[in-house]
A = this chain, B = another copy of it.
């Protein structure tokens, strides 16, 4: 019995080794193809330079829909279609923030209204600035100290975390809630220190939220050096701030996510790979999330180009409206439910086009452990971290339906220097880093397609 078991194990071992060898050869074919012939970098140049930033509801976004559909066809998709989705329309318009210091002169500050914020309707709103360092400090203030004031939430982005996403999560509540907090105590508007890892004067926009039955006061962000200046000035003097802005919600509009797929050879259960096609209305939306879009298209192209026979349908989804509503992701989830489409796995790339370091896995432990069992295959590609448990924002409706979801984890050090800013441009993306992210996703999907 022992001997037979030994032989069986031995045979099994040889089979597993053979398997691993075959997979390792395929991993190498994938990365070699993408690093040498990948089109993602040039496609990103087109998207960012010919179309530019593309907020949901803008003409540019609609151009990007046509562009993505064409690129999916060029990449060899068997089927390409647009998925209708109603999206909120937010517009920025003209905006300015000034302060009056002790010497009585007004000074213009570099700023951006936060996304989804209401403006001042083109009128000046002014008041004295009060500064707090934290929400706790703000909560301790009596309402009469806040009434008619401008609240400056001066909470710094923590440099201490190694993963900058942790610093971002830590500070994000200020961006999301500053306006509502301010309004609840009668303040006129909120200024926040940008969620930025850089020591510069670049303001970062990004989504904020109002609360029901709380008045909608504006919220704006200033860059780190402006925040530092304000902090210093406020130590010695009273400062008046004056905001004039025209931003606000302009109803809803019919728009589209873009979908393309290569049909499964064995069955038509679906593996999703995607990013979001929209961006904020500043910069070029290069890392956020043009990168995720071109990487996802690269996955599909690579399967076709290398002639890898996919058992299951591999579907690229370019989600609409991640930045200020996640309506594309929600709509996609709804359609999956309505059409009763079986989904095996979904992965999003929405953390920048930097060199990949891992893939976060949001699924049950059996599946997580199976994937972790493949980690040796990924190690030569610099992809070693399979320990995190989260997935792309657009995938939460799928995850809520029990579908295994994931997110590419690129190196995070540079992302929050440029995230949601004028600086998120094509020039900040490195060709090899971008393409290695596409390779890691292709390799993962190859394994899922083969083994699930």
A432 at the interface (CB under 8 A from B): yes
Question: B residues within 8 A CB of A433?
Answer: 413-414
Tell me, in angstroms, the Cα distance from A198 to B41 when the chains sit together. Answer: 12
Report the nearest B residue to A31, measured CB to CB.
B162
Report the nearest B residue to A439, measured CB to CB.
B162
Question: B residues within 8 A CB of A159?
Answer: 35-36, 432
Which of B162, B413, B436 is in CB contact (< 8 Å) with A413? B436
Are A381's CB and B162's CB within 8 A? yes
A368-398: which have CB < 8 Å to B? 380-382, 384
Task: Decide: A432 near B164, CB < 8 A? Known: A35-B159, A159-B36, A411-B411.
Answer: yes
Q: How far is the CB of A375 from chain B (nearest CB, A)?
A: 11
Are B36's CB and A199's CB within 8 A? no
Are A355's CB and B411's CB within 8 A? yes
Q: How far is the CB of A385 from chain B (nearest CB, A)?
A: 8
Are B432's CB and A382's CB within 8 A? no
Q: How far is the CB of A392 from chain B (nearest CB, A)?
A: 21
Are A199's CB and B355's CB within 8 A? no
Question: B residues within 8 A CB of A162?
Answer: 31, 380-382, 436
Are B381's CB and A384's CB within 8 A? no
A430 at the interface (CB under 8 A from B): yes
Q: How far is the CB of A444 from chain B (nearest CB, A)?
A: 16
Count of chain copies: 2
Report the nearest B residue to A435, measured CB to CB.
B159
A417 at the interface (CB under 8 A from B): yes
Question: B residues within 8 A CB of A31?
Answer: 160, 162
A357 at the interface (CB under 8 A from B): yes
Q: How far is the CB of A115 from chain B (nearest CB, A)?
A: 25
A323-366: which have CB < 8 Å to B? 355, 357
Question: B residues within 8 A CB of A50?
Answer: none
Q: How far is the CB of A316 from chain B (nearest CB, A)?
A: 24
Question: B residues within 8 A CB of A411?
Answer: 355, 382, 411
Are B431's CB and A199's CB within 8 A? yes
Are A413's CB and B384's CB within 8 A? no
- Tell me the A residues contacting B by CB distance below 8 Å: 31-32, 35-36, 159-160, 162, 164, 197-199, 355, 357, 380-382, 384, 411, 413-414, 417, 430-433, 436
A31-B160, A355-B413, A414-B432 given; 12 more Cβ-contact pairs under 8 Å: A32-B160, A35-B159, A35-B160, A36-B159, A159-B432, A198-B431, A357-B382, A382-B411, A384-B384, A411-B411, A413-B432, A414-B433
30 CB-based A-B contacts, threshold 8 Å: A31-B160, A31-B162, A32-B160, A35-B159, A35-B160, A36-B159, A36-B160, A159-B432, A162-B380, A162-B381, A162-B382, A162-B436, A164-B432, A197-B432, A198-B431, A199-B431, A355-B411, A355-B413, A357-B382, A382-B411, A384-B384, A411-B411, A413-B430, A413-B432, A413-B433, A413-B436, A414-B430, A414-B432, A414-B433, A417-B430
Closest 3 pairs between A and B when the two form their complex, measured CB to CB = A413-B432, A35-B159, A32-B160
